[in-house]
Structure 1
């Protein structure tokens, strides 16, 4: 599994819009052509998708 990166300000807004706390999630993939983010939880390692 890849290591996550810290989210930018706009990515934090997207994460918050999807009902998640941006402080607990890292960016694994940024799929711009599909307008979605794949995020990984900092502590548990669970993965989720956030749609813009």
Structure 2
């Protein structure tokens, strides 16, 4: 698993808007129209639209 990095405030707000706890998620891949986020503990992935 990748080394977790702290999210910026705007990224935390964006992840929280999807009813996810930003403390438990990290951004794995940023694409033009979506983000691949990975749960820090379980390793499950989700794709959310980019802001």
Q: Match for residue 38 of structure 2? A: 40
Unpaired stretches in structure 1, ≥5 consecutive residues: none
Which of the pair has the greater relative contact order for Cα pairs under 8 Å at 6+ separation? Answer: 1
Q: What stretches of structure 1 move > 2 A for 4+ residues in a row?
A: none
Unpaired stretches in structure 2, ≥5 consecutive residues: none
Q: What is the TM-score normalised by the length of structure 1? A: 0.76
Q: RMSD over aligned Cα, in angstroms?
A: 1.5
CA contact (8 A) 1:14 1:50 kept: no
Aligned residues: 49
Q: What is the TM-score normalised by the length of structure 2? A: 0.77
Q: Match for residue 12 of structure 1? A: 12
